[in-house]
């Protein structure tokens, strides 16, 4: 994916997220979603600033329906912060960078 962002799928979710040795931010998105595209530059900035403290991942909901279904993702973008396999925070929709950073700080 580049920019320190890892593209995950239903098959790699457990290894990359639940068994991660550091907190993980997942961006559930789809290519056709305007707000998803709009939030991507913010996620990329966060990856640069916090990439040493948190793993930043993206999951395409069209290609991977199991994981978003399991976590009740009904709208995108939905961003979920995990730590030690547990949900720390969840945000749905386009939000300010400061709100995402607040969510990340709960986990690091």
Active site residues: 33, 36
Q: SS3 of 8, please? A: strand
Q: Is the peptide bond before 87 cis (omega within 30 degrees of 0)?
A: no
Both tokens of 94, joined, read 């386009």
Instruction: Kindly write down the DSSP assignment for every residue of 58-107, as one continuous string.
Output: EEETTT--HHHHHTT--SSSEEEEEETTEEEEEEES---HHHHHHHHHTT
What are the angstrom distances between the C-alpha of 73 and each of 45, 55, 89? 24, 20, 13
């Amino acid at each position: 994916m580049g920019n320190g962002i890892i593209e995950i799928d239903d098959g790699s979710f457990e290894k990359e997220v639940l068994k991660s040795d550091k907190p993980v931010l997942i961006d559930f998105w789809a290519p056709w979603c305007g707000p998803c595209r709009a939030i991507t530059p913010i996620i990329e900035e966060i990856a640069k600033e916090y990439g040493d403290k948190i793993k930043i991942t993206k999951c395409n909901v069209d290609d991977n329906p199991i994981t978003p279904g399991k976590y009740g993702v009904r709208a995108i973008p939905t961003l979920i912060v995990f730590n030690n396999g547990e949900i720390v925070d969840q945000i749905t929709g386009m939000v300010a960078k400061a709100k995402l950073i607040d969510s990340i700080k709960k986990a690091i």
